[in-house]
Structure 1
Amino acid sequence: MSAPLLVDRTDGVATVTMNRPDSLNSLDVALKEALRDTFLELATDATCRAVVLAGAGRAFCVGQDLREHLSALETKAPLDTVSEHYNPMVTALAALPQPVVAAVRGAAAGAGAGLAFLADFRIGGPSTSYLMAFARVGLAADSAVSWTLPRLVGHAKATELLLLAEPVRSEEAHRLGLLTRLLDYDDDVLPAAQELAARLAAGPSVAYAQIKRELFEGATGTLADALAVELAAQTAAGSTTDHREATNAFVEKRTPRFEGR
């Protein structure tokens, strides 16, 4: 059997590909555990400076593997997978210090959409669509969608998308901010995501990590909290070789060469 998750490392970019194309990359236990473990590994990998998250075949990820879930419904706690798999997987993805680019080719539904929403950038094409499928199967949202979606589209629109569970096609997704970039051709989605990730991998990694931290913690804190986080972030970034190099490059009117430290 093929591995449920593929990881390719090239020039500081780790391309993480969900590899269950026959099931549209639906999330079974093996794939959820592989994603969790890979995100945890990449978080401490000094050679990884940007991450691309993609799906093999014609879909990004359609969420929970419902065939597997149907079997779980015969047990006493069929939703234990939320605490055992989804929450750890999502927490690990959200905590990645590297910039994350989602190559959202085709459908991203349920928890699959949740994975895309946690990325820092989302690249899509004509076939890209989102579906908040949870209510269609009588479930509430998980995979941090209740946290990410209102921050991306606002409370009212998030309520509409979650309760009505209607597809969001590519153009509307771009208009709503669920896609950072919308390309003309599906075949360009993964190369464009990798190109953006390569650009980020060549940048000031410590500063990027601190900016992500500022945005994450500032989303729920007070002004005083934000100022405290900014002080700590600037102190960390300001002590890097990259900051000194970029400052010198500006004065010397040349392009800086970032080393990620």
Structure 2
Amino acid sequence: MTSLADMNTVDIVDGVLSIRISTERGGNSLAPDALLEGTEVLRAVAAGEHSVGAVLLLGPGANFCAGGDVRAFASAPDRPAFVADLADRFHAFISALAEADVPVVAAVRGWAAGAGMSIVCHADVAIGGPGTSLRAAYSAIGFSPDGGMTWALPRLVGAARARHIILTNRVVTAAEALEIGLLAQVVDTDEEVVTAATAAARAIAAGPRQSLRATRRLLTTSDGATLTEQMAAEAASISQLSGLPVGIEGVDAFVAKRSADFSASNDT
């Protein structure tokens, strides 16, 4: 089993895998260690090595993630090779995040720019505060997006709006992000963001994990399916769950008028 003991950016508490995706340097730039350690642990989760019910993405400072370390780009002796290597590691992390097949919560405090905004686009539940701001940012340094932004953002907000956000490099405020679906919730103060996101992740992890993972899978694949195909997938999923311990416990608890206890099925 992959050990978390020597890792600095990840931990698992109450069934929640927390990944601190940025450093305190450079206004909270993307953390290379988080990409490597996060990818390793997420792959271990996908392989069943860790019992995880939710992933929580957060930054250690005032900002969620202000993007890549531009000063590191500038000092690299071979910029294209350096950026290609970083993009490969970033994309391995995003792929691992998807393949872990676990609901993802993002605590989007302060700025989510560049790579930070790309990461937000892959969260199932993104929670911000009044000071949350998002910006594509890539064109400001003459780059094009990475981290799957050009794939995920149009699916979240629509093609025309995504083009406008990326090509004009405008700032998306917390209120607008909530309105267009980039954020799922905006709490009253910025200080509440991490607390609210942590509570959401723990609530998801304490719920019926197999059911929630199946639901996330259906939501993720629905964009490329016809209505008939999606309903067939739904029928297969709900039927399978009804015969598993998670579904049996849920139904039996409802009939008995008691709270369902999903702890046994969550440990599998």
Q: Which residue of 1 aligns with 2:165?
A: 161
Report whether the alignment pairs 1:14 with 2:17: yes
CA contact (8 A) 1:124 1:186 kept: yes
The range that moved more, 211-220 or 55-64, is 211-220
Q: Which residue of 1 aligns with 2:34?
A: 31
Q: Which residue of 2 aligns with 1:40?
A: 43
Q: CA deviation at 1:75?
A: 4.7
CA contact (8 A) 1:86 1:143 kept: yes
Distance 1:168 1:13, change over 3 A: same
Q: Which residue of 2 aligns with 1:222?
A: 226
Q: CA deviation at 1:106?
A: 0.7
- Structure 2 stretches of 5 or more lacking a match? 1-5
Q: How does 1:58-207 map to 2 (within 5 A)?
A: 58-72=62-76, 74-75=78-79, 77-81=81-85, 84-207=88-211
Cα-to-partner distance string for 1:28-68 (whole Å, 9 max, x where unaligned):
54332223223223333442211211000111011111122
Distance 1:96 1:25, change over 3 A: farther
Q: CA deviation at 1:73?
A: 6.7
CA contact (8 A) 1:28 1:68 kept: no
Distance 1:19 1:115, change over 3 A: closer
The 1-side partners of 2:21 and 2:27 are apart by 9
Aligned AA (1:123): I
Secondary structure of residue in 1 paired with 2:67:
coil
Aligned AA (1:203): G
Which aligned segments of 4 or more residues in structure 1 are displaced greater than 6 angstroms? none
Q: CA deviation at 1:133?
A: 0.8
The 1-side partners of 2:221 and 2:86 are apart by 23
The 2-side partners of 1:134 and 1:8 are apart by 30
Q: CA deviation at 1:71?
A: 3.4
- Structure 1 stretches of 5 or more lacking a match? none
CA contact (8 A) 1:13 1:49 kept: yes
The 2-side partners of 1:158 and 1:176 are apart by 10
Aligned AA (1:147): W
TM-score w.r.t. length of structure 2: 0.88
Q: Which residue of 1 aligns with 2:3?
A: none
Distance 1:158 1:16, change over 3 A: same
Secondary structure of residue in 1 paired with 2:105:
strand
The 1-side partners of 2:32 and 2:39 are apart by 11
Match of 2:247 among 223, 233, 243: 243
Distance 1:201 1:4, change over 3 A: closer
Identity %: 34
Aligned AA (1:74): D
CA contact (8 A) 1:136 1:165 kept: yes
The 1-side partners of 2:217 and 2:182 are apart by 21
Aligned AA (1:166): R
The 2-side partners of 1:101 and 1:107 are apart by 16
Q: CA deviation at 1:10?
A: 2.1
The 1-side partners of 2:56 and 2:34 are apart by 16
